[in-house]
Amino acid sequence: MRLVSLNIVRFLFLILIQLLVVDQISLGFMENYISLVIYVSFLLTFPINTSNYLLLVVALILGLTIDMFKDSGGIHASACLFLAFLRPFVLRRLQSQNPIDEVEELTVYTEDLKKYITYTVLLLSGFFFWLFLLEEFSFSRIPMILLKTLLSTIFSTLLIIIGQYLLFRRPKI
């Protein structure tokens, strides 16, 4: 029960941070090329031992909530679902290289930093590629989509990792 209530609070907190802080950051001329997101860190840190179907439902609710506030027509919900769909495959791939410890959730404290960055970059790349592909809705704009995906993935990964260092507590050994 404690984990459920903690995740509900984290869900609401990340949505508020995204809408009230991150979306208000002005990037100047780079604003057309970089999209900062922090709310997807909820899906990245979602407990590993839960059902994949539950993860898909939570991803849909998270994406629809963001779409409702941004009036973006469902592209965030679709991108969150795509990230949730990719997550088990990425976790399995990372486990085959170097087994992921039996942890409740993946954070910078519970996992090796290099593995966590790889995990985050892979999932955010898929998320942003799908998001920008739906936003542009044109295969002729693939070079621009790839550039936006690269820049957004780099800056959002940095933002998520810094946020985790600030918001998560180091587990007691």
Per residue in 50-107, pLDDT tens?
Answer: 889 999 999 999 999 999 999 898 999 999 999 999 999 998 888 755 555 455 677 7
Dig out the tokens for 59 from the structure. 């991803």
Which position has the token pair 């404290």?
109
Between CA 3 and CA 104 the distance in angstroms is 10
The counts of H helices and E strands in the chain are 6, 0
Q: Tell whether the model's pLDDT for residue 27 goes beyond 90.
A: no
pLDDT in tens, 112-158: 888 889 999 999 999 999 999 999 888 888 999 999 999 999 999 99
